[in-house]
């Protein structure tokens, strides 16, 4: 894990993946994947500080993937994203361990400001523990 923090973007929409990666790459080490299975491979290969996770994936619901990630990697922060959200999905995500819930479209300003404050705070805490 680099000092900039590591982020995994999980979304089946290539445009969303590319836009988020472009917005985040100047400040963070970013990896993108299109499926839940690729996300599981990625998090098994190395830890991420934050996962931006789409709710609708082709091979598994984002909330189901969230449960798997939190079971095996409980300290990883996860933000669930969706363009088809409802209050029920938001509640399910937050109860399942998501740090936050974002509705698409997501502008880069929204991603950089309050949504990543937890990652920045976590980085600061890690730096003081060294």
Sign of CA dihedral 7, 55, 36, 61: positive
Task: Report pLDDT for 130.
Answer: 40
Q: Which backbone phi and psi does 3 adopt, to 5 degrees?
A: -70, -20
Q: What pLDDT digit, counting tens, does each position of 60-106 carry? A: 999 999 999 999 999 999 999 988 767 888 888 989 999 988 888 77
* Coil, helix or strand at residue 3: coil
Task: Report pLDDT for 125.
Answer: 59
**What does 104-128 look like in DSSP terms, one character per residue?**
SS--HHHHHTGGGHHHHHHHHHHHH
Q: Domains, the chain, ranges and CATH?
A: 6-129 (3.40.50.2300)
Task: Give residues with Cβ within 8 angstroms of 33, minimum separation 6.
Answer: 8, 9, 10, 17, 39, 41, 42
């Amino acid at each position: 894990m680099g000092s900039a923090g590591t982020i995994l973007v999980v979304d089946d929409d290539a445009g969303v993946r590319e836009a988020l990666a472009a917005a985040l790459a100047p400040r963070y080490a970013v990896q993108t994947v299109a499926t839940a299975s690729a996300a599981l491979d990625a998090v098994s290969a190395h830890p991420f500080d934050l996962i931006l996770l789409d709710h609708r994936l082709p091979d598994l619901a984002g909330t189901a993937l969230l449960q798997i990630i939190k079971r095996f990697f409980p300290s990883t922060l996860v933000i669930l994203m969706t363009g088809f959200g409802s209050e029920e999905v938001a509640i399910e995500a937050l109860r399942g361990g998501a740090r936050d819930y974002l509705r698409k479209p997501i502008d880069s300003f929204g991603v950089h400001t309050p949504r990543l404050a937890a990652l920045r705070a976590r980085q600061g805490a890690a730096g003081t523990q060294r």
